[in-house]
């Protein structure tokens, strides 16, 4: 596999300020050594509970947030070493779609202005007519029409607003799109429509996706591979089919047990996780999951952090007892 994207040892710590003088008193360990490769045309599902670091990982890859350490390569170029002008050029190739399209769309701009903004910034249209034609083309590509160009975001439904966000991302002809909880705020039927659109666009333009979601059911049918994150670390990464049929990490098993099975004759035993996700300012020692793991071994799991090890072809698991 030739990697289009390579992430190596990505770390992001957010300072926590406190006291009278607002000094840095601690750090949130948001991303704690994340590594993976992604081939062109693949979709990686990045899944975990809220606060596990999946969105921060996506934003660090695009350098919307500066990583604390680690490297990101895109098409052989080290993104993490680029200066600001070079990074602006790279931004054309890597785009992001956000969870809340309403919050990410300027309410005072028309749809034409929102979708056309990137064309102006990156000088992608020779003149006003060429820009207009391209905006119409983009809107039609995502299932909207030229008649809606002069409308404002509040005049659209949630699903349509997400289509505007997709058209805006497509304007610069990117190769990689990070879909950050892109369908999480939508009703299930609208979710399916937007996922279908994203799949069609992938087939048409050869796009590569990182599909971030808190729910394993959302990424099941869209992902080539799935990575499960817990407290800043990838605990399991595998081809989608293997992860759904033969999960190896106890955390993945618990997440999967909550996914409904469409066939009512089949039953899955629900694994209830005890307690909440621990505070990422002071994550548990050793395996971060040991405070909630039913099979944790005292003196081992709480002391030594397990590393990702292969258990089958392309299937890696970070667990002392399941490798």
- What residues make contact with ligand SF4 under the rule CB under 6 A? 249-250, 287, 289-290, 293, 295-297, 301, 306, 319-321
Cβ distance to ligand SF4 smaller for residue 54 or 320: 320
What the block records as the tokens of 109 is 């701009």
| Shortest reach from residue 243's CB to ligand SF4, in Å | 15
* Residue 145 backbone dihedrals phi, psi, to 5 degrees: -135, 165
What's the rounded Cα separation, in Å, for the pair 214 and 46?
8
Nearer to ligand SF4, 29 or 161 (CB): 29
Q: Which two tokens stand for residue 37?
A: 């490769």
d(CA 146, CA 51) in angstroms, rounded, equals: 39
Distance, in Å, from the CA atom of 91 to the CA atom of 142, rounded to the nearest integer, reads: 21
Q: How far apart are CA 271 and CA 293, in angstroms?
A: 11
| Burial per residue of 288-297, b for 16 or more beta-carbon CB atoms within 10 angstroms, e otherwise | bbbbbbeebe
Q: Which CB sits closer to ligand SF4, 218 or 293?
A: 293
DSSP helix/strand/coil, 120: helix
Comparing CB distances to ligand SF4, the nearer of 178 and 319 is 319
Nearest-5° angle of CA 61, CA 13, CA 15? 130
Minimal distance, residue 275 CB to ligand SF4, in Å = 13
The distance of closest approach from Cβ of residue 311 to ligand SF4 in the complex, given in angstroms and rounded to an integer, is 12
Minimal distance in Å, beta carbon 242 to ligand SF4? 18
- Closer residue to ligand SF4 (CB): 8 or 302: 302
Least separation, in Å, of the C-beta of 203 and ligand SF4? 37
Coil/strand/helix, residue 89: helix
Nearer to ligand SF4, 12 or 320 (CB): 320
> In angstroms, what is the minimal distance from the CB of 227 to ligand SF4?
16
């Amino acid at each position: 596999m030739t990697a289009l994207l390579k992430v190596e040892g990505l770390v992001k710590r957010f300072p926590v300020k406190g006291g009278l003088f607002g000094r840095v008193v601690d750090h949130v360990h948001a991303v704690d050594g994340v590594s993976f490769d992604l081939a062109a045309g693949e979709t990686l599902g990045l899944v975990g509970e809220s606060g596990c670091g999946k969105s921060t990982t996506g934003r660090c890859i695009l350098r919307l947030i500066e990583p604390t350490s680690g490297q990101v390569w895109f098409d052989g170029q080290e993104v993490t070493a680029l200066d600001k002008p070079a990074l602006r050029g790279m931004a054309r190739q890597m785009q992001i779609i956000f969870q809340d399209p309403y919050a990410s769309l300027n309410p005072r701009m028309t749809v034409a202005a929102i979708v056309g903004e990137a064309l102006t910034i990156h000088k992608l249209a020779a003149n006003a007519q060429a820009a207009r034609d391209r905006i119409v083309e983009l809107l039609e590509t995502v299932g909207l029409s030229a008649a809606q160009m002069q409308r404002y975001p509040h005049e659209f439904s949630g699903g349509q607003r997400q289509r505007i966000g997709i058209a805006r991302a497509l304007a610069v002809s990117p190769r990689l799109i990070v879909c950050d909880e892109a369908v999480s705020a939508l009703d299930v039927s609208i979710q399916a429509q937007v996922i279908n659109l994203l799949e069609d666009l992938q087939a048409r333009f050869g796009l590569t996706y990182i599909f971030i979601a808190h729910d394993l059911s959302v990424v099941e049918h869209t992902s080539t591979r799935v990575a499960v994150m817990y407290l800043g670390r990838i605990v399991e990464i595998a081809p989608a089919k293997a992860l759904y049929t033969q999960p190896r990490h106890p955390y993945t098993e618990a997440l999967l047990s909550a996914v409904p099975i469409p066939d009512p004759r089949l039953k899955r035993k629900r694994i209830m996780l005890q307690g909440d996700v621990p505070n990422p300012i002071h994550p548990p020692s050793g395996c971060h999951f040991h405070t909630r793991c039913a099979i944790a071994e005292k003196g081992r799991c709480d002391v030594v952090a397990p590393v990702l090890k292969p258990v089958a072809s392309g299937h890696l698991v970070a667990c002392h007892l399941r490798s």
